[in-house]
Structures are given as structure tokens and as C-alpha cells.
Amino acid sequence: MEKILWADDEIDLLKPHIMFLKAKGYDVTTVSNGRDALDTLDHERFNLILLDENMPGLSGLETLARINQTHPEVPVIMITKSEEENLMNQAIGNQIADYLIKPVNPNQILLSIKKNLHSGQLMAQQATSGYQQEFQKITSLINMADTVEEWMEVYRQLVYWELKLADTDNSMGELLLMQKRDANSNFCKFVKREYEGWVNTDHHPLMSYELFKKRVFPMLDKGEKVCFILIDNFRLDQWRVIQPLLSEWFNIDEELYTTILPTSTQYARNSIFAGLMPLQIATMFPNLWVDEDEDEGLNIHESELIKTQLDRFRRKETYSYNKLNDSSAGEKFLQKLNSLKDTPLNVVVLNFIDMLSHARTESKMIRELANSDAAYRSLTESWFRHSSSLDIFRRMADLGFKVIVTTDHGTIRVDNPIKVVGDRNTNTNLRYKVGKNLNYNPRQVYEMHNPKKFGLPSPNLSSTFIYACNEDFFSYPNNYNYYVQYYTGTFQHGGISLQEMLVPFVTLTPK
């Protein structure tokens, strides 16, 4: 039974309200002044405090200040006769849970109590009930989905309910996880069936190499100042948790696009900036393409690739390219934003989430901090809120930039090892492999025996690309147990899943 402390100098007049709350199952203790309230709090634990603002002696605001010092964990609902704005501001500034103006009826008080004591429980119940009602509908969507648009709707539904159920402690979360796995299994079959046609015909969804041509250039043609922000390893659920932080300054238009395969930086991001499939980049600009077996960085030519695309489309706009790998780089970029206010196109790469996913693999501490998708989202939101990133967006709104927020690919938390054997030249990615002597179970992967048919350069004449699906990851038979233990539960990319391939493309228009 929740215990409530009610402090009011006219407490005798409130007996009907107190009887009403007791009938609703609350244990109500009453006092008639602020000092008695503080003394009572020192000897008993309470779940919530109802505090009159206008009491003789120690006022309600003075009592509230002392409660915040000694018992900051207890929510306080302030009740007052005054509607003065200054008084409300003082109360709200002192972190009250709610503010009620007399005369109050019992149902008003009950609603406020429920909001502050039971909102989590009520929201969890509502989320559980809602998901139960939608479960069969989502299952039908998964079984019937036969276009990219239908799969995008499936994914949106799954992310919506994942966020709604994230804070609930019940079996619905497990049921949703099973439904996500079923969806990814069917989505992989869909991609296996359709992907070659997407690459070789005009009938395909919006893909990586078309983002500038179909989204960025039309904005520039309208005279918009555009800032294109690419957040590496950024998923739809991560976007949804930072979206509320931006809604104060921007009107938001969210869509999804489909990444190319492999869903990795070397291929997908270079494709975005060049406006070409990887094979075309390697053929047209061999000096700007880095093969799998080369030692230099796989995305060191991004600025040059952007220039090739602008030149190819005979665009005359000036542009800037900025890669922000740490907080220091973010602060420096923030300081130079004023100098870029007249530059039509500014490209920014934010690498924090990519670094977080790698750190989670390599650091036991980060593994503990991001031990689930919900925790991974929470770290993303915390980074965005407390780093220079949020200030950068705020400043862009002030400068009148149309801002695009997107990514080159998402990630998936892997937990099912499948064996593959390759020679020493085989790449190290856990979600896709490319090599000339790969040994694997073909039923467990998506194969590309002729990479050129899929817009990919082939390191050797007999090279094959294979992709992991669902939550699988590739492991080698040598030292198998250590390898599996080390990588199970890590976030990886490169393969085929809703999380990796259907990623956010968000347009932010300053308010």
C-alpha cells in the first residue's frame, strides 16, 4: 500500500478527500504545517507528498526546498489557492511533480497521484495490452510482405512496439523478440529473391547510391542550404530516441531507404558519397577505391568521392566535408559553423556510434553498459544529449540549414555462430565474407558467385561474397569456442537484416 503524507493547515476540512483516497487503497498521514511534515518525513517513509503552499510558519515553498534537500526521491504535489505565474514558476523550478489549484476535487488529486506513482505500471499495462491486440496483425504483415514498402511498415511496427515495451517487465518482450527473428528470416528470403533485380533494373527502392541525386540535389536546386549528416551504424530505433531532442528546433520528415550490400562502410558509405555502385567506383576511379586486402583505411577518400559526384552531375556548388571522431573534433566544428553558413552543401560524418559498437566488442565494461538493444539505445541518447552533437544541430537550426540525418547502414546484435572456412586473404567482417576458397553451408547464407552482377568489384576471378542473415555471425573452426564467446552478443553489420538494411533518412527543416 502506497503511503501519502498530506500537509495542509486546513486538513480538517479535507476529511472527505482523505476518506476517498483511503477507499482507493492509499494510506494517508496528515499534518497541519511544514515543520510537522519535515519531522514526520524523518521518521517514516512515504511514496508521495501533498503539500499546501499557503501555510503559517514554514511556507509550502520553504518546506518544499527542505524536502528536496533531505528527501529528493519523494515526489511532491503542490496545492495552492493562488494562480500567480511567479508562484507557479518557483514551484516548478523547485522540481515539483505536479501543481494543483484549489478548490480541488478528489478525482483531480487521484489522477495526479496515479500519474506520479503508477504511470510506469499503467503504461506497461497499456503497452502490453496494445501489443497483444496488434500481435496477429503484425504476424500477418510479416507473412504477407512482398515489397520493400511493406517490409518498411513491418520494421516500423516492430520498432514502435520495441520502444513501447522496453520498460515493461513481462513476457511480451520475449514474444516481440521472437517476432523480430521471424521477420528477419522472411526478410532475408525476400532480399535473396529481389536484390539482383534491384541492382540491375530501374525497379528498386531508394538505395545508397541515389541519396544525393534524388534527395540532396533537389534541395540544392531550390536554393536550400543543406547539411548532410551521416551517423555511422545508426538504426531506426536509435533515431527514434534522439528525435524528441530535435523537435524543439525542427519540423521532422522521416523516411527509410534501403542500403546496398555489403552493409559496411567500405561499400555502402562510399556508394553514398560517389553516387555509384562499388564496381563503378573501382572502375571509374581506381585510385579512390580501396580493396579488401589493402592496408590503408577503407573510407579515406570520402571527400574526393563527393567531388566526383558533384562534377559528374555538373554541380557548381561549393561544399565542405567534416569527419567528427571525438568530442574535440565536434567542438572545433561547432566553432567554425559560422564560417560555413553560406556554403550550400556541408557533409558531416559522426563516428561515435561506430566507435561505441567496436568498443562494446572489445571492452568488457562497455559490454556491461550496452548489454541489450535498450541499453544500446540509451547510450546513444546519452551521447547525443551530452556531446557537442546536440549543440551542432541547434546551431544549424539557427543558421537556417535544411539538415539531413541518415546513415550508411545499421547494426544487429548477433548470437548465433555459423562456421565458415577461408584462406588468409578472406576479410575479417563477421556478417559478410569475400574470398576465392570459402567453405560454408549454402543454406545458411546469401551467395553472390558473380559479384559483378551485383555491382561489386571482385578481388579475384573466382571470388564469392556470402552474407549472414538473421542474428548469425561467421566464425572459424580454429579456436571456435573462444571466438564464439568473444563475439556473441556484440553489434555487427555487413549482412542482411531489417536493422542493417532499412535505415533512417530524416529531413529536418528549421522552425
pLDDT digits (tens, 9 = 90+) for 6-48: 999 989 889 999 999 999 999 999 999 999 999 999 999 999 9
* pLDDT score at 22: 93
Q: What is the pLDDT of residues 185-214, one digit of tens each?
A: 999 999 999 999 999 998 999 999 999 999
For the stretch 34-93, pLDDT in tens is 999 999 999 999 999 999 988 888 988 899 889 988 888 899 998 887 666 666 666 566
Half-sphere exposure of 303 (CA within 13 A, CB side): 9
- The whole-number pLDDT of residue 114 equals 87
Q: What is the pLDDT of residues 115-166, one digit of tens each?
A: 888 776 766 777 778 888 899 999 999 999 999 999 999 999 999 999 988 8
- pLDDT tens profile 346-383: 999 998 776 666 555 556 666 676 678 888 888 889 88
Q: Out of 27-31, 232-236, 384-388, 446-450, which region has the weakest mean confidence (pLDDT)? A: 384-388
Residue 334's pLDDT is 93
In the chain, which residues fall in CATH 3.40.50.2300? 3-117
pTM: 0.82
Containing 451, the helix (H) or strand (E) segment is none
Q: Domain 3-117 has what CATH class?
A: alpha beta
* In this structure, CATH architecture of domain 208-411+500-510: 3-Layer(aba) Sandwich (3.40)
The residues of the chain that CATH labels 3.40.720 are 208-411+500-510
Task: Give the number of other CB atoms < 10 A from CB of residue 69.
Answer: 8
Q: Does the pLDDT at position 299 exceed 80?
A: no
pLDDT at position 325, please?
86
Short-list 388, 396, 236, 243, CA closest to 324: 388
pLDDT of residue 483: 85
What are the residue ranges of helices labelled H in 351-420?
352-362, 364-369, 373-386, 388-399
Burial class of residue 386 (count of CB atoms within 10 Å of its CB; 0-12, 13-18, 19+): exposed
**What is the average per-residue pLDDT within 316-328?**
91
- Please give the distance of CA 26 from its chain centroid, rounded to a whole number: 39
CA atoms within 13 A on the CB side of 406: 29
Average pLDDT, the chain: 90
Percent of the chain whose predicted confidence (pLDDT) is above 70: 92
